[in-house]
A and B are shown apart, each in its own frame.
Chain A
Amino acid sequence: MGEEEAQYPLDLLTQQQELFLTKAAAAHAQTAATSAGAAAKGTLLHAALGAILVVEVILGAYFTRELWLPLLIQATPTVEAQVVPQVKTETAIPIDTETPYPAETESATPSTPVLTPLFATESPVAESTPNAPRENPGKHLGQTPGAPNAPGQDEDKGNNKDNNNKDKKP
Protein backbone atom coordinates (compact mmCIF):
# COMPACT_ATOMS: atom_id res chain seq x y z
CA MET A 1 0.00 0.00 0.00
CA GLY A 2 2.76 2.36 -0.85
CA GLU A 3 4.93 1.73 2.12
CA GLU A 4 8.03 1.53 -0.01
CA GLU A 5 8.08 5.29 -0.52
CA ALA A 6 8.99 5.89 3.11
CA GLN A 7 12.66 4.97 2.66
CA TYR A 8 15.35 6.23 4.92
CA PRO A 9 17.68 8.57 3.02
CA LEU A 10 21.07 6.94 2.82
CA ASP A 11 23.10 9.94 3.91
CA LEU A 12 20.93 10.49 6.95
CA LEU A 13 21.07 6.79 7.77
CA THR A 14 24.85 6.65 7.54
CA GLN A 15 25.30 9.73 9.65
CA GLN A 16 22.99 8.43 12.34
CA GLN A 17 24.77 5.08 12.35
CA GLU A 18 28.18 6.70 12.87
CA LEU A 19 26.86 8.77 15.75
CA PHE A 20 25.25 5.73 17.32
CA LEU A 21 28.33 3.50 17.09
CA THR A 22 30.63 6.23 18.41
CA LYS A 23 28.42 6.70 21.43
CA ALA A 24 28.22 2.92 21.90
CA ALA A 25 32.00 2.60 21.94
CA ALA A 26 32.31 5.38 24.50
CA ALA A 27 29.63 3.78 26.67
CA HIS A 28 31.36 0.42 26.46
CA ALA A 29 34.70 1.89 27.51
CA GLN A 30 33.08 3.77 30.39
CA THR A 31 31.27 0.66 31.57
CA ALA A 32 34.47 -1.39 31.50
CA ALA A 33 36.35 1.27 33.49
CA THR A 34 33.52 1.53 36.00
CA SER A 35 33.42 -2.23 36.47
CA ALA A 36 37.16 -2.44 37.06
CA GLY A 37 37.07 0.42 39.52
CA ALA A 38 34.09 -1.04 41.30
CA ALA A 39 35.80 -4.41 41.56
CA ALA A 40 38.96 -2.86 42.96
CA LYS A 41 36.98 -0.71 45.32
CA GLY A 42 35.02 -3.71 46.43
CA THR A 43 38.16 -5.71 47.13
CA LEU A 44 39.70 -2.84 49.06
CA LEU A 45 36.51 -2.34 50.99
CA HIS A 46 36.38 -6.01 51.94
CA ALA A 47 39.96 -5.92 53.11
CA ALA A 48 39.33 -2.81 55.18
CA LEU A 49 36.22 -4.31 56.73
CA GLY A 50 38.13 -7.48 57.55
CA ALA A 51 40.89 -5.53 59.25
CA ILE A 52 38.38 -3.48 61.22
CA LEU A 53 36.66 -6.66 62.34
CA VAL A 54 39.93 -8.18 63.56
CA VAL A 55 40.79 -5.02 65.48
CA GLU A 56 37.34 -4.97 67.02
CA VAL A 57 37.69 -8.57 68.17
CA ILE A 58 41.07 -7.90 69.71
CA LEU A 59 39.94 -4.74 71.44
CA GLY A 60 36.79 -6.42 72.65
CA ALA A 61 38.76 -9.29 74.10
CA TYR A 62 41.18 -6.90 75.77
CA PHE A 63 38.56 -4.75 77.43
CA THR A 64 36.55 -7.74 78.60
CA ARG A 65 39.53 -9.76 79.85
CA GLU A 66 38.39 -9.30 83.46
CA LEU A 67 35.32 -11.31 82.57
CA TRP A 68 36.75 -14.20 80.65
CA LEU A 69 40.30 -14.48 81.90
CA PRO A 70 39.40 -15.84 85.35
CA LEU A 71 37.12 -18.36 83.76
CA LEU A 72 39.85 -19.42 81.41
CA ILE A 73 42.33 -19.82 84.26
CA GLN A 74 39.80 -21.77 86.28
CA ALA A 75 39.05 -24.07 83.44
CA THR A 76 42.64 -24.74 82.60
CA PRO A 77 43.94 -27.86 84.40
CA THR A 78 47.08 -27.09 86.39
CA VAL A 79 49.98 -29.48 86.82
CA GLU A 80 51.61 -29.21 90.22
CA ALA A 81 55.33 -29.36 90.17
CA GLN A 82 56.59 -32.46 91.80
CA VAL A 83 59.52 -31.81 93.99
CA VAL A 84 61.85 -34.69 93.73
CA PRO A 85 64.07 -34.92 96.76
CA GLN A 86 67.59 -34.81 95.74
CA VAL A 87 69.62 -37.65 97.13
CA LYS A 88 73.20 -36.74 97.62
CA THR A 89 75.02 -39.91 96.93
CA GLU A 90 78.32 -38.43 97.90
CA THR A 91 77.34 -37.81 101.50
CA ALA A 92 74.94 -40.66 101.80
CA ILE A 93 75.07 -42.49 105.04
CA PRO A 94 75.85 -46.11 104.42
CA ILE A 95 73.22 -48.30 105.79
CA ASP A 96 74.56 -51.30 107.51
CA THR A 97 71.90 -53.90 107.22
CA GLU A 98 73.96 -56.73 108.57
CA THR A 99 74.81 -55.42 111.93
CA PRO A 100 71.77 -55.61 114.17
CA TYR A 101 70.94 -52.68 116.19
CA PRO A 102 72.25 -51.99 118.78
CA ALA A 103 75.72 -53.20 117.99
CA GLU A 104 76.87 -55.82 120.55
CA THR A 105 80.59 -56.17 121.20
CA GLU A 106 82.51 -58.77 123.27
CA SER A 107 84.12 -56.23 125.49
CA ALA A 108 80.84 -54.98 126.77
CA THR A 109 79.89 -56.56 130.07
CA PRO A 110 76.22 -57.41 130.54
CA SER A 111 76.16 -56.01 134.01
CA THR A 112 77.82 -52.85 133.02
CA PRO A 113 75.47 -50.53 131.23
CA VAL A 114 76.95 -48.71 128.35
CA LEU A 115 76.84 -45.13 129.29
CA THR A 116 77.47 -42.02 127.36
CA PRO A 117 80.36 -39.87 128.47
CA LEU A 118 77.85 -37.66 130.21
CA PHE A 119 76.84 -40.46 132.41
CA ALA A 120 80.18 -42.25 132.51
CA THR A 121 81.19 -43.53 135.89
CA GLU A 122 84.60 -43.49 137.32
CA SER A 123 84.56 -47.12 138.22
CA PRO A 124 82.24 -49.92 137.72
CA VAL A 125 79.63 -50.23 140.33
CA ALA A 126 80.56 -52.88 142.89
CA GLU A 127 78.12 -55.49 143.83
CA SER A 128 76.39 -54.49 147.00
CA THR A 129 74.58 -56.57 149.57
CA PRO A 130 70.87 -56.46 149.37
CA ASN A 131 70.49 -54.85 152.73
CA ALA A 132 73.49 -52.66 152.71
CA PRO A 133 72.55 -49.08 152.41
CA ARG A 134 73.89 -47.31 149.51
CA GLU A 135 76.75 -45.07 150.25
CA ASN A 136 76.10 -43.02 147.27
CA PRO A 137 72.63 -43.73 146.05
CA GLY A 138 73.16 -41.75 142.94
CA LYS A 139 76.68 -42.84 142.33
CA HIS A 140 75.96 -45.22 139.56
CA LEU A 141 74.24 -42.44 137.82
CA GLY A 142 77.48 -40.58 137.62
CA GLN A 143 76.75 -38.23 140.37
CA THR A 144 79.56 -37.27 142.68
CA PRO A 145 78.82 -37.19 146.36
CA GLY A 146 77.55 -33.92 147.43
CA ALA A 147 76.77 -32.94 143.91
CA PRO A 148 73.35 -31.60 143.37
CA ASN A 149 70.90 -33.98 141.95
CA ALA A 150 70.16 -34.00 138.30
CA PRO A 151 67.17 -31.88 137.43
CA GLY A 152 63.97 -33.64 138.16
CA GLN A 153 65.48 -36.16 140.43
CA ASP A 154 64.87 -36.54 144.15
CA GLU A 155 66.84 -38.68 146.46
CA ASP A 156 63.97 -40.96 147.03
CA LYS A 157 63.04 -41.13 143.46
CA GLY A 158 66.58 -41.51 142.52
CA ASN A 159 66.87 -44.50 144.78
CA ASN A 160 63.85 -46.01 143.29
CA LYS A 161 65.10 -45.29 139.87
CA ASP A 162 68.40 -46.80 140.71
CA ASN A 163 66.73 -49.94 141.81
CA ASN A 164 64.55 -49.96 138.75
CA ASN A 165 67.40 -49.32 136.40
CA LYS A 166 69.51 -51.82 138.04
CA ASP A 167 66.99 -54.52 137.57
CA LYS A 168 66.54 -53.71 133.98
CA LYS A 169 68.74 -55.42 131.57
CA PRO A 170 69.57 -53.98 128.17
Chain B
Amino acid sequence: MDDKILLAAIRKLDADALTAVFEQYAPLVFKYSLRLCRDPQEADDVVGEVFSRLLDALTQGKGPQKNLRSYLYQTAYHIIIDDTRDRTHYTPLDGHFNQPASEDLPPEQAEERRQFLLLHKAIHTVLTQDQKHVIVLRFLEGFDLRDTAHILGRDVNNIKVIQNRAVAKLREALLYETRE
Protein backbone atom coordinates (compact mmCIF):
# COMPACT_ATOMS: atom_id res chain seq x y z
CA MET B 1 0.00 0.00 0.00
CA ASP B 2 1.23 3.43 -0.90
CA ASP B 3 2.67 5.47 1.95
CA LYS B 4 0.42 8.42 1.20
CA ILE B 5 -2.67 6.28 1.38
CA LEU B 6 -1.40 4.68 4.55
CA LEU B 7 -0.70 8.06 6.11
CA ALA B 8 -4.18 9.30 5.35
CA ALA B 9 -5.72 6.15 6.79
CA ILE B 10 -3.64 5.93 9.97
CA ARG B 11 -4.41 9.55 10.80
CA LYS B 12 -7.99 8.38 11.13
CA LEU B 13 -6.74 5.49 13.31
CA ASP B 14 -8.06 3.00 10.81
CA ALA B 15 -7.46 -0.51 12.18
CA ASP B 16 -6.66 -2.08 8.83
CA ALA B 17 -4.21 0.66 7.92
CA LEU B 18 -2.44 0.42 11.28
CA THR B 19 -2.17 -3.35 10.88
CA ALA B 20 -0.65 -2.92 7.44
CA VAL B 21 1.82 -0.36 8.78
CA PHE B 22 2.92 -2.66 11.56
CA GLU B 23 3.32 -5.67 9.31
CA GLN B 24 5.32 -3.66 6.81
CA TYR B 25 7.64 -1.68 9.07
CA ALA B 26 7.95 -3.64 12.30
CA PRO B 27 10.51 -6.11 10.86
CA LEU B 28 12.50 -3.25 9.35
CA VAL B 29 12.57 -1.31 12.59
CA PHE B 30 13.56 -4.47 14.44
CA LYS B 31 16.41 -5.09 12.06
CA TYR B 32 17.64 -1.54 12.36
CA SER B 33 17.42 -1.61 16.11
CA LEU B 34 19.20 -4.93 16.28
CA ARG B 35 22.10 -3.57 14.29
CA LEU B 36 22.55 -0.84 16.84
CA CYS B 37 21.54 -2.59 20.04
CA ARG B 38 22.89 -6.01 19.20
CA ASP B 39 20.27 -7.53 21.54
CA PRO B 40 17.03 -9.01 20.11
CA GLN B 41 15.07 -8.43 23.26
CA GLU B 42 16.17 -4.84 23.39
CA ALA B 43 15.40 -4.44 19.70
CA ASP B 44 11.92 -5.86 20.32
CA ASP B 45 11.38 -3.34 23.09
CA VAL B 46 12.44 -0.60 20.72
CA VAL B 47 9.90 -1.78 18.15
CA GLY B 48 7.12 -1.71 20.73
CA GLU B 49 8.12 1.75 21.90
CA VAL B 50 8.33 3.07 18.34
CA PHE B 51 4.78 2.06 17.44
CA SER B 52 3.44 3.14 20.80
CA ARG B 53 4.82 6.62 20.23
CA LEU B 54 3.35 6.55 16.74
CA LEU B 55 -0.12 5.94 18.18
CA ASP B 56 0.31 8.70 20.74
CA ALA B 57 1.31 11.16 18.05
CA LEU B 58 -1.61 10.18 15.80
CA THR B 59 -4.07 10.54 18.67
CA GLN B 60 -2.82 14.07 19.28
CA GLY B 61 -3.14 14.93 15.62
CA LYS B 62 0.60 14.86 15.09
CA GLY B 63 2.76 12.16 13.57
CA PRO B 64 4.32 11.69 10.14
CA GLN B 65 3.27 14.10 7.44
CA LYS B 66 5.06 12.77 4.37
CA ASN B 67 7.59 10.00 4.97
CA LEU B 68 6.32 7.31 7.29
CA ARG B 69 9.42 5.13 7.08
CA SER B 70 11.74 8.02 7.90
CA TYR B 71 9.54 8.95 10.83
CA LEU B 72 9.66 5.42 12.29
CA TYR B 73 13.44 5.17 11.92
CA GLN B 74 13.89 8.56 13.49
CA THR B 75 11.79 7.53 16.45
CA ALA B 76 13.80 4.33 16.82
CA TYR B 77 17.03 6.27 16.66
CA HIS B 78 16.01 8.57 19.49
CA ILE B 79 14.85 5.65 21.61
CA ILE B 80 18.12 3.83 21.09
CA ILE B 81 20.11 6.95 21.86
CA ASP B 82 18.16 7.55 25.05
CA ASP B 83 18.00 3.97 26.33
CA THR B 84 21.04 2.09 25.04
CA ARG B 85 23.81 4.66 25.30
CA ASP B 86 25.35 2.97 28.28
CA ARG B 87 24.64 -0.50 27.07
CA THR B 88 27.62 -2.80 27.56
CA HIS B 89 26.02 -6.17 27.06
CA TYR B 90 26.87 -7.72 23.79
CA THR B 91 25.45 -10.88 22.39
CA PRO B 92 26.80 -12.47 19.26
CA LEU B 93 24.37 -12.43 16.42
CA ASP B 94 24.74 -16.15 15.76
CA GLY B 95 23.39 -17.18 19.12
CA HIS B 96 19.90 -15.66 18.87
CA PHE B 97 18.64 -16.27 15.39
CA ASN B 98 17.55 -19.36 13.59
CA GLN B 99 20.36 -19.05 11.18
CA PRO B 100 22.55 -21.83 9.98
CA ALA B 101 26.08 -21.84 11.29
CA SER B 102 28.84 -20.70 9.02
CA GLU B 103 29.94 -24.26 8.58
CA ASP B 104 26.62 -25.19 7.03
CA LEU B 105 26.66 -22.47 4.41
CA PRO B 106 28.12 -22.67 0.95
CA PRO B 107 31.63 -21.16 0.64
CA GLU B 108 30.44 -17.99 -1.07
CA GLN B 109 27.80 -17.30 1.52
CA ALA B 110 30.12 -18.26 4.33
CA GLU B 111 32.65 -15.68 3.14
CA GLU B 112 29.97 -13.04 2.86
CA ARG B 113 28.81 -13.85 6.34
CA ARG B 114 32.32 -13.59 7.68
CA GLN B 115 32.79 -10.23 6.03
CA PHE B 116 29.52 -9.03 7.45
CA LEU B 117 30.42 -10.09 10.95
CA LEU B 118 33.75 -8.33 10.66
CA LEU B 119 32.05 -5.20 9.47
CA HIS B 120 29.50 -5.44 12.21
CA LYS B 121 32.22 -5.82 14.80
CA ALA B 122 34.13 -2.88 13.42
CA ILE B 123 31.05 -0.73 13.41
CA HIS B 124 30.54 -1.29 17.08
CA THR B 125 34.15 -1.11 18.14
CA VAL B 126 35.88 1.61 16.17
CA LEU B 127 33.08 4.01 15.24
CA THR B 128 31.49 6.69 17.35
CA GLN B 129 27.76 6.68 17.97
CA ASP B 130 27.06 9.19 15.22
CA GLN B 131 29.28 7.38 12.76
CA LYS B 132 27.61 4.10 13.66
CA HIS B 133 24.16 5.47 13.01
CA VAL B 134 25.18 7.02 9.72
CA ILE B 135 26.75 3.80 8.45
CA VAL B 136 23.79 1.68 9.49
CA LEU B 137 21.22 4.02 7.97
CA ARG B 138 23.15 4.74 4.81
CA PHE B 139 24.59 1.34 3.92
CA LEU B 140 22.55 -1.19 5.83
CA GLU B 141 19.08 0.33 5.79
CA GLY B 142 19.41 2.03 2.40
CA PHE B 143 18.43 5.59 3.31
CA ASP B 144 19.69 8.47 1.21
CA LEU B 145 21.63 11.40 2.59
CA ARG B 146 18.55 13.62 3.04
CA ASP B 147 16.51 11.00 4.89
CA THR B 148 19.51 10.07 7.04
CA ALA B 149 19.97 13.74 7.92
CA HIS B 150 16.30 14.00 8.75
CA ILE B 151 16.33 10.91 10.96
CA LEU B 152 19.40 11.99 12.87
CA GLY B 153 18.34 15.61 13.01
CA ARG B 154 21.48 16.86 11.35
CA ASP B 155 22.51 18.77 8.28
CA VAL B 156 23.18 16.90 5.03
CA ASN B 157 26.73 18.23 4.82
CA ASN B 158 27.34 17.10 8.36
CA ILE B 159 26.12 13.61 7.45
CA LYS B 160 28.55 13.54 4.55
CA VAL B 161 31.45 14.40 6.81
CA ILE B 162 30.44 11.78 9.38
CA GLN B 163 30.01 9.17 6.68
CA ASN B 164 33.41 9.81 5.15
CA ARG B 165 35.16 9.56 8.47
CA ALA B 166 33.23 6.38 9.36
CA VAL B 167 34.08 4.71 6.07
CA ALA B 168 37.74 5.57 6.53
CA LYS B 169 37.77 4.06 9.98
CA LEU B 170 35.98 0.92 8.82
CA ARG B 171 38.33 0.48 5.89
CA GLU B 172 41.29 0.76 8.20
CA ALA B 173 39.73 -1.69 10.68
CA LEU B 174 38.81 -4.22 8.00
CA LEU B 175 42.24 -4.03 6.45
CA TYR B 176 43.70 -4.60 9.86
CA GLU B 177 41.41 -7.58 10.40
CA THR B 178 42.21 -8.95 6.97
CA ARG B 179 45.90 -8.73 7.57
CA GLU B 180 45.44 -10.63 10.78
Contacts and interface: CB of A to CB of B under 8 A. Distances in A.
Interface of A: 1-9, 12-13, 16-17, 19-21, 23-25, 27-28, 30-31
A9 B40 contact: yes
A1 B48 contact: no
A136 B169 CA distance: 171
Contacts of B98: 7
Nearest to A4: B99
B13 interface: yes
B88 interface: no
A31 B13 contact: yes
Contacts of B112: 1-2
* Chain B interface main SS type: helix
Given A20-B51, A30-B59, A5 B140 contact: no
Contacts of B44: 8-9, 12, 16
Contacts of B93: 5-6
A7 B13 contact: no
Interface of B: 13, 15, 18-19, 22-23, 26-27, 30-31, 34-35, 40, 44, 47-48, 51-52, 55, 58-59, 93-94, 97-99, 112-113, 115-117, 119, 140
Contacts of B48: 16, 19-20
B34 A6 contact: yes
A13 to B, nearest CB: 6
A2 B113 contact: yes
A2 B31 CA distance: 12
Nearest to B41: A12
A159 B45 CA distance: 151
Nearest to A25: B15
18 contacts: A3-B31, A6-B31, A6-B97, A7-B31, A8-B27, A8-B30, A12-B40, A12-B44, A16-B48, A17-B19, A19-B48, A20-B22, A20-B51, A21-B18, A27-B13, A27-B55, A27-B59, A31-B59
A29 to B, nearest CB: 9
B14 to A, nearest CB: 8
A77 to B, nearest CB: 60
B19 A21 contact: yes
